[in-house]
Amino acid sequence: MEKMLLDTIDLAVKAGEIVLCDEDFKVGNKGTKENYVTSTDIKVQDYLKRELTALIPGSYFMGEEGDLPEKDSGLIGSDRWVWIVDPIDGTANYARGMDNSVVSIALMRRGEVVLGVVRHPYLDLTFWAYKGQGAFLNGKPIHVSDRSIEHAMLATAWSAYDKSKAPACFRIAEKLYSVCEDIRRTGTAAYELCLLAKGAVDIYFEINLSPWDYAAASRIVEEAGGHIRSLDGGVHLYGPGPVIAGNTAENTEYVLKTAEQEIGGAPGDRGL
């Protein structure tokens, strides 16, 4: 498995080079004007699908740009290896030249993410983790902070793709902001969760994440000593849902209870 991890890291770095070098990309959207897709997203996903499935013949590839499983696919809890990939997390940033986007690669089996790699090509940062082996940034171990909720930094977003959910997001953010130190919003969930894993931010909430947005980072957060969950506990393989994370169990529970006050619990049959 060490070779698998090293090969995955290498592919994430190479995918990041495509992101950096593909200057003449085309920009479109998926469903709403806020949900960008670029020709580079497609190019990176095609590259990673070819290379990752070659690493594990017979593995299933799940990517943001069209490679989605049916609900009756039998992937939940199965022995089949499943790659969960976001070719560019932070596409809106990428399309607008903000230089803050990442490549996210997770490997799941039997309903559990066992490997996660997040590559930030602009900053030359590679976060990775394998189950039971700890979390690392450019080869050095990382760990979440031990800050209390009063000294926490919150990373969050406001449901740009479905603005009917924005009022609840604002209420949750306001409640947390009144207690914690401040809020950060970078436009890439995977990177924000990695910032939590390295102790830069301390709590996290987003109301509507898809599995490719956070699957890789979920393993990195947990291996760094943090906590991450949906409202009903698991990674939502078949659709978007709320995600909560924290540096400590107490802070995670505080964010969870704050979210539940505004939006209630999520359906239990959507988690892994």
Low-confidence ranges of the chain (pLDDT < 70): 1, 30-31, 33-34, 66-77, 234-238, 264-272
Claim to verify: residue 44 and residue 166 sit in the same structural domain: no
Query: What CATH number is associated with residue 168?
Result: 3.40.190.80
Claim to verify: residue 110 and residue 179 sit in the same structural domain: no
Claim to verify: residue 115 and residue 202 sit in the same structural domain: no
Burial level of 53, CB count in 10 A (0-12/13-18/19+)?
middle
Cα distances (angstroms) measured from residue 83 to each of 120, 136, 248: 19, 20, 28
Domain extent for 244? 149-270
Last residue of a domain, one of 95, 120, 141: 141
- In angstroms, the CA 93 to CA 27 distance is 12
Query: What CATH number is associated with residue 101?
Result: 3.30.540.10
Claim to verify: residue 35 and residue 125 sit in the same structural domain: yes
Instruction: Please tell me the predicted confidence (pLDDT) of residue 272.
Output: 30
Instruction: Please tell me the predicted confidence (pLDDT) of residue 70.
Output: 59
Beta strands in the chain (DSSP E): 27-29, 36-38, 60-63, 82-89, 102-109, 112-120, 125-130, 135-137, 140-141, 153-156, 182-184, 203-209, 227-230, 241-246
Claim to verify: residue 225 and residue 114 sit in the same structural domain: no
Domain count, the chain: 2
Claim to verify: residue 135 and residue 170 sit in the same structural domain: no
Last residue of a domain, one of 113, 141, 169: 141
Over the stretch 103-146, which tens digit does the pLDDT of each residue have?
999 999 988 999 999 999 999 999 999 999 999 999 999 999 99
Claim to verify: residue 125 and residue 72 sit in the same structural domain: yes
Say which residues have a Cβ less than 8 Å from residue 6's Cβ, sequence separation at least 6. Answer: none
Last residue of a domain, one of 92, 112, 141: 141
pTM exceeds 0.75, yes or no: yes
Instruction: Please tell me the predicted confidence (pLDDT) of residue 78.
Output: 75
